[in-house]
Amino acid sequence: MRECWAKPLGDCKGGITGEHLFTRSIFTGEEIVVDGAPWFKGVSKRISLDAAVGNILCEHHNHTLGTYADPAGKELREAMQASVRNKPEATGTATEYVRSPGGIIVPKPTVTIRGPHVGAWLAKTHCNMIANTKGTPSIEYIQYAFSPRNPQIQFYYPHVLGEDVGFTDQPHATYVNFHEPGEPFAIQICGFWSLVALQPIPKLEVLNFLDRVREVRFQTLTLALDWTDDPPRPSSPTVQRPPTQQS
Q: Which residues in this chain contact Zn ion in the complex, by CB under 5 A?
A: 4, 6, 12, 58, 61
Nearer to Zn ion, 78 or 140 (CB): 140
Contact 21, 128 (CB under 8 A): yes
Nearer to Zn ion, 58 or 223 (CB): 58
Measuring CA to CA, which residue among 162, 144, 166, 161 is closest to residue 153?
A: 144
As a 3-state breakdown, the chain gives helix, strand, coil percent values, each rounded to 5, of 30, 25, 45
Nearer to Zn ion, 60 or 74 (CB): 60
Nearer to Zn ion, 58 or 111 (CB): 58
CB of 3 to Zn ion, least distance (A): 8
Nearer to Zn ion, 61 or 77 (CB): 61
* 18: three-class secondary structure by DSSP: strand
CB of 13 to Zn ion, least distance (A): 7
Q: 59-85 and 139-146 helices cross at what angle (nearest 10)?
A: 80
188 membership: H or E segment, kind and range: strand 185-189
Nearer to Zn ion, 120 or 225 (CB): 120
Q: Which amino acid is at 68?
A: Y
Residue 16: burial class (beta carbons within 10 Å; 0-12, 13-18, 19+): middle
CB of 34 to Zn ion, least distance (A): 24
How many CA atoms lie less than 13 Å away from 235 in the CB half-sphere? 2
CB of 149 to Zn ion, least distance (A): 19
β-pairing verdict for 97-99 and 105-107? antiparallel
β-pairing verdict for 31-35 and 173-177? parallel
CB of 85 to Zn ion, least distance (A): 38
CB of 7 to Zn ion, least distance (A): 6
CB of 57 to Zn ion, least distance (A): 6
Nearer to Zn ion, 12 or 210 (CB): 12
Report the alpha-carbon distance of residue 194 to residue 208 in Å, rounded: 12
Q: Which amino acid is at 72?
A: A
